[in-house]
A and B are shown apart, each in its own frame.
Chain A
Amino acid sequence: MTKHYFEFSCPVKMVAGFRALEHISFELDTRGASRPLIVSDKGVVGAGLVDTVLAAIATGGGQVGPIFDDVPPDSSMEAVRAGAARYLDSGCDAIIAVGGGSVMDTAKALNILATEGGVDLRQFAGYNNLKRPLKPFIAIPTTAGTGSEVTAISVIKDREEGVKTFYCSPFLLPDVAVLDPRMTLKLPPMITAATAMDALTHAVEAYTCLARNPMSDAYAEAAVRRISQWLVPVLLRPDEAEGRLALAEAAAMAGIAFSNSPVGLVHALAHTIGAMYGVHHGAANSIFLPFVLEFNLPGSRQEIGALLLSLAGPEVYAATPASRRAEEAIDRIMALKDKAHELCGLPRTLAETGSVPREDLPRIARTALDDGTVVMNPVDVTYEGALRVLERAW
């Protein structure tokens, strides 16, 4: 009897492509909402992206409530409370988030307070501690990487308690994710590359880690294919709308993949050097990805080899002997890193970040072992194993 079992869920409606923003007023209307709070940050507002969204809603006959743009780069409890107060004071009935990961996290947590009223947010921390649906929530990502528009998690920095608090519930998921190429056209090359490599890592880890399943595999393969096809062209021609949309779709698909098949050691190491030295999450993932895949070869040679098809296309895949496909797939990722480094300076190694001291590697290895993501890594991670990857990535 087979012991095969998996779970998969993605109830987010995707509204994606040319003139996607113009669908928002319809989506609000069908959910009985007419006064959404716009949640964003100063950078996104300054880049004119919120104006673009507002214009698209207005021309569709829709209306919006106030704009809350006080979201800090690291979503905070204060911002969540301030945003929720604005929501409740101005009689809003829905939330539209326009921004990157921090804006999405803030909007998700804000939605808890908007729905439950003036309560202590902390009582909902942890897993599945929400018991009913929240207010209508539309997510418009302005980066193509985190996949927050399709994930059920929000991480909020709680300065009073000195911790980062997790909120995880299917009710946190947006009702609608709007992917419009206009939202990412102006992303600087370095952020484009780093966020795309984050999405690539989500897809590759979802595909190679323990919870992989037929559904997450399908999303992961499609995401890897788009990123390997479009990242370099978009770095060369940043206003390539077709490529921008492909990367946004890839980030969402990778988000769906890793929501249903969680990430592994690459993320454990990236979380650790992110917290210790502030290395950008996408850049950190990019650094570790090929070296962790090398480390994981004994446990997932088959899966890594299968990724060559999505990374390099059918000709290369067919021409590569089955026994060499895994190594070739890793080489392709190395080559993508080299190209991104050449085009926008994305660091390839820990040394190139200029902020991780070599003598700290043992401490990083020790700390990374406590990151929950190592559970899903296909190969058991010991201190020695983590240190070996770090030495390679130096």
Chain B
Amino acid sequence: MNDAPVSTRARLVVLEKRGPPFAFQRFYVRFMLWLIGRLLQAASVVDDEIRREVGNLPAGFTFSMRVRSGSAALTLTKHGDRLRAVPAAAVPHPVLSFDFKHIAHAFLVLSFQESTPRALANDRLSVDGEYPSAMKMLRALNRMQALVLPRFVAVRALKACPRISLAEKIGLASRIYGRLIVELLKRPAA
């Protein structure tokens, strides 16, 4: 390292000082996957459209969105027309999974710098499972994001923002967040 030019050496020192690589991204991704799981669970109770998509998924459906290294995951199971967030260990072989190839790719999508379709187009995300179910989950995810995200963020996360009136959006969003809080208070350890 001492042979490296001064500028390179300085950069290496900065990198070392940052701690383990991707530590922040790892933390952020883990939090977001947790949040998205809970929001989908809440939205599948509150929103008719998401409930219809979930209702059309096959019985016994299980879903997971993971980072390949195994460092983070969100796992959902279907019960009737509702989704329930469960610990990843509860479903070792999900019926459908969206797998990010690297934590950095998950970070791009979950920090709304890259939309899900763009991530799929860029081969950052691989889908394992039946496509009809994948499409229903994608639509449910899109709808949930369109409802809970501020519009200026949603336009970056989605291919197109569905036309929802502001009143409807605020109404549904507050019910989803409300439901999320109720669920958290009910099962604080889950």
A379 touches B (CB below 8 Å):
yes
B113 touches A (CB below 8 Å):
yes
30 contacts between A and B (CB under 8 A): A3-B114, A6-B122, A6-B123, A7-B122, A7-B123, A127-B127, A127-B128, A128-B126, A210-B120, A211-B120, A211-B123, A262-B121, A370-B131, A370-B135, A370-B136, A371-B131, A371-B135, A372-B127, A372-B134, A374-B135, A375-B120, A375-B135, A375-B138, A376-B117, A376-B121, A379-B159, A380-B158, A380-B159, A380-B160, A382-B162
* Residues of the B chain whose Cβ atoms lie less than 8 Å from the Cβ of A374: 135
State in angstroms the CA–CA spacing of A6 and B122 once bound together.
Answer: 5
List which A355-376 residues lie within 8 A (CB) of chain B.
369-372, 374-376
When the two chains form the complex, which single residue of B126, B128, B135 contacts A372, counting CB atoms closer than 8 Å?
A: B135
State in angstroms the CA–CA spacing of A6 and B160 once bound together.
Answer: 22
State in angstroms the CA–CA spacing of A321 and B118 once bound together.
Answer: 31
Contact with A along B131-170 (1 / 0, CB 8 A): 1101110110000000000000000001110100000000
* Residues of the B chain whose Cβ atoms lie less than 8 Å from the Cβ of A372: 127, 131, 134-135
**How many A-B contacts are there with CB distance less than 8 Å?**
53
The 6 closest A-B pairs by CB, nearest first: A380-B160, A372-B131, A211-B121, A210-B121, A370-B132, A380-B159
Majority SS of interface residues in chain A? Answer: loop
* Residues of the B chain whose Cβ atoms lie less than 8 Å from the Cβ of A48: none
State in angstroms the CA–CA spacing of A210 and B118 once bound together.
Answer: 7
B residues near A (Cβ < 8 Å) are 108, 113-114, 117-118, 120-124, 126-129, 131-132, 134-136, 138-139, 158-160, 162
State in angstroms the CA–CA spacing of A6 and B124 once bound together.
Answer: 9
* Residues of the B chain whose Cβ atoms lie less than 8 Å from the Cβ of A7: 122-123
Do B122 and A379 touch across chains, with their CB atoms under 8 A apart?
no
Q: How far is the CB of A128 from chain B (nearest CB, A)?
A: 8
Do B131 and A3 touch across chains, with their CB atoms under 8 A apart?
no
Do A3 and B120 touch across chains, with their CB atoms under 8 A apart?
no
Do B134 and A210 touch across chains, with their CB atoms under 8 A apart?
no
Starting from the known contacts A6-B123, A375-B120, A376-B117, 4 additional A-B residue pairs (CB-CB under 8 Å) come to A211-B121, A372-B135, A374-B135, A375-B135
Whose C-beta in chain A lies nearest to the C-beta of B118?
A210
Do A379 and B132 touch across chains, with their CB atoms under 8 A apart?
no
State in angstroms the CA–CA spacing of A369 and B162 once bound together.
Answer: 15
